[in-house]
Amino acid sequence: MNKILTFVLCTFCLSAAFAQDVKYCGQTEQTEKLFRHFPELQREAQEAHEQLEEETRAFAQERGGGEETLIIPVVFHIIHEGGAENISDEQVLDCLRIVNRDFRKQNPDTLQVVDEFVDLIADINIEFRLAQRDPEGNCTKGINRIFSPLTNEGGSQMKDLIFWPRDMYMNVWVCKDAGGAAGYTYLPGSVNNGWLQDQDGIVLLHNYTGSIGTSSVTRSRTLTHEIGHWLNLRHLWGGTNEPAVENNCFDDDGVDDTPLTIGWTTCNLDGESCGSLDNVQNYMEYSYCSRMFTQDQRTRMRAAAYSGVADRNELWTTQNLIDTGVFDEEPVLCAADFDVNRRVVCVGEEVQFMDQSFNGNNSWTWDLGDGTTIVGEDVEVHQNPVHVFTEPGLYTITLNTGNGFETVEETKEEFLLVLDQAEQDFPFVEGFENGLGTDLYFVNNPADDMTFEVSTLAAQTGSRSLRLENRNNNVEFNIDELMTRTFNGTSASVVALEYSWAYASKFNETDDRFRIYFSSDCGETWTLRKQHRGYSDLPTTSPTNGNFVPDADEWVTNTIFFDDLEDLTDNLRFKFYFEGRGGNNFYLDDINIYVNTVDVNDIESLENSIVLFPNPSEGRTSLKFENQSAVNDALIYLTDATGRVVTQIYNNALPVGSHQWDLDGSALSSGLYFVVMEMDGKRVSKRLILE
């Protein structure tokens, strides 16, 4: 049999959609890439592979597969950006349930296996349990959550974010993109070298993890397949990731009771590709109808589990099961924890509380800080309650939870902020001269590192600004957010948001991002209105690798206008978002928000009365007006964005007919202005932008 080293990425798919959305496997590309960078690994990996083959043959002769139930501790690392890829604990538990069902031959669909292979269906007698102790012996539920944009990369850098020792745990990373595949892992021999151990484990796409949540039943056996690779199984057609190729009949998977096959990507149960009936329903196929492992696959996987290659034999020892907290089947209740769907809400909005305690709790007592207590044992009602706060404030939340024998408690001080509606009025002028108080802003720093801070190093006006020390940022795609409280925009016809910033790229022109969002529903949803990028309009001066501090002429000001009346609610909020990608320091100053207030009824009757052209204007514009009846008292004037009158245009009676005035704004600063017309008690305004 031709043995070909299968080194890196292998994936599995069990739905027709898989073929359209992601690759089966990135094995070939990743193998070539790894060996190109580290050619010495190919020889070492081949030696480890041959050692394991010898051990597998000896294991089959001496033990015949073995009967002892092996328990392997597992840890899931959810790498996410707060999106759908941040799958629930329930989805992780469902994934592990399916793996244990498949490895113990408890899946009911074995009844669908074709008669020729029924006698070969194997109970692998290996169980997988979520760790309940971390490497330091602390309590854990075996599910870690790491906020990082590296979820979109799904490779070695992502794994470097968090890794638990492979001689104690099987590591599983769940992410948003696994290099274009549904999942991948290494054969044990491929990562036997000690300095590769932090790469040893399994990577899964979130929507191929389990059968619920973001995944589905047809995509639920990806981990079953990948653990097969992790325990030294190849695809049934041999050592490639190219099924349905005629030459595969001359390759083999190293397993005696799986017939030679070209490999299947459809569920053809009558398939005979190499002169005999193919085991199309095997978990190591791409047939979308996998149901079984064979007896000899069982022997091969258990041989790998007993081998010291890649430390697999350390995982199921009694001492390691004790150290990782999985020796007993009963869960260990060791920590209370909880979260909410949003940390900042408005009065009258629902808050979803989420119990994240571990492990095995079945009763809950919630103290929500506003006099409300929720107590009970009904999972549907008491574990993850929904509550509406009727008063604004900063609330401390306490959860006490138990398992019938003991209880644990967690209190989070000032954990939930409930905003009132229309907390801030316009105009709003902020130069940070008095610091940064939570009565106006909230800073969100998911990476918990350097973030927006008031600085005296530079300012657009005054002596202070907000500074983000981005030059020393060591977190790729680091995100920091500055969010306002609620504004009342219900009486405005237009809101103008003005802001100034200073930023320099490094000499390699890094593509940092500065974005401005708004929300009309108190932050439940956010809409992007402007993005400045490092490759285009974000830099305000030349690149420098030094510690950037802007001069007075290295600031830029921009204004965004909001004039959709449906957006101008009493729950209007704004967010300033910076995504660091290795550039230099960023400064933010002079956040000014102005409005123009107009009676809606007057707009409807006079909205066609004024014509301004050109608009925007570089200085000169014409104002045209035609009235159908005489006006006894007409006042026309120009204001800036704050409502301050800049110049009076006309103040007298107006006869019937057409009227025109030429306005000279060349001496005015660029920005937002309003032409206001008051006629016999009616008032209307038109926006004018001077560039």
Quickly list DSSP for 283-294.
Answer: TTS-SS---B-B
Q: Tokens 């950037």 appear where?
A: 548
Q: Rg of the Cα trace of the chain?
A: 33
Asked if 235 and 241 touch (Cβ cutoff 8 Å), the reply is yes
With a CB cutoff of 8 Å and minimum separation 6, the contacts of 394 are 414, 416, 417, 418
With a CB cutoff of 8 Å and minimum separation 6, the contacts of 382 are 363, 364, 366, 374, 375, 376
Q: Which of 15, 30, 2, 41 is nearest to 241 (CA)?
A: 30
Q: Which helix (H) or strand (E) holds 151?
A: none
> Could you give phi then psi for residue 309, rounded to 5 degrees?
-65, 125
What is the rounded CA–CA span in Å between residue 665 and residue 642?
17
Q: Which of 585, 568, 607, 588 is nearest to 685 (CA)?
A: 607
DSSP 380: I
Q: Which of 219, 9, 233, 229 is nearest to 94 (CA)?
A: 219
Instruction: Respond yes or no on whether the N-terminal peptide bond of residue 616 is cis (omega within 30° of 0).
Output: yes
Two tokens, residue 467:
């500074």
Q: Which of 509, 510, 499 is nearest to 555 (CA)?
A: 499
What is the rounded CA–CA span in Å between residue 153 and residue 378?
40
What is the rounded CA–CA span in Å between residue 192 and residue 195?
9
Catalytic residue chosen out of the listed positions 81, 85, 153, 226: 226
Q: Tokens 């094995």 appear where?
A: 27
SS3 593: strand
Task: Identify any residues that bridge with 578 across adjacent strands, giving them in sequence order.
Answer: 480, 514
In this structure, the number of other CB atoms found within 10 A of the CB of residue 463 comes to: 12
Q: Which amino acid is at 424?
A: Q
Give the start-end residues of each E strand in 81-187. 126-130, 143-147, 170-175, 183-185
What is the rounded CA–CA span in Å between residue 233 and residue 438?
56
Instruction: Give Cα 358 to chain centroid, integer Å.
Output: 23
Instruction: Respond yes or no on whether the N-terminal peptide bond of residue 359 is cis (omega within 30° of 0).
Output: yes
Asked if 174 and 76 touch (Cβ cutoff 8 Å), the reply is yes
What is the rounded CA–CA span in Å between residue 98 and residue 539?
51
What is the rounded CA–CA span in Å between residue 392 and residue 521?
16
What is the rounded CA–CA span in Å between residue 192 and residue 41?
10
> Is the Cα dihedral 102, 103, 108, 114 positive or negative?
positive
Q: Which of 453, 468, 474, 464 is nearest to 503 (CA)?
A: 468
Asked if 593 and 427 touch (Cβ cutoff 8 Å), the reply is yes
DSSP 60: H
What is the rounded CA–CA span in Å between residue 518 and residue 575?
6
Two tokens, residue 507:
């000499």
Active site residue 226: yes
Q: Enumerate the H helices of 570-621 as residue ranges.
A: 600-606
Asked if 493 and 685 touch (Cβ cutoff 8 Å), the reply is yes
SS3 496: strand
Angle (CA) 104-217-200 rounded to 5° is 60
Question: What positions carry a catalytic annotation?
Answer: 226
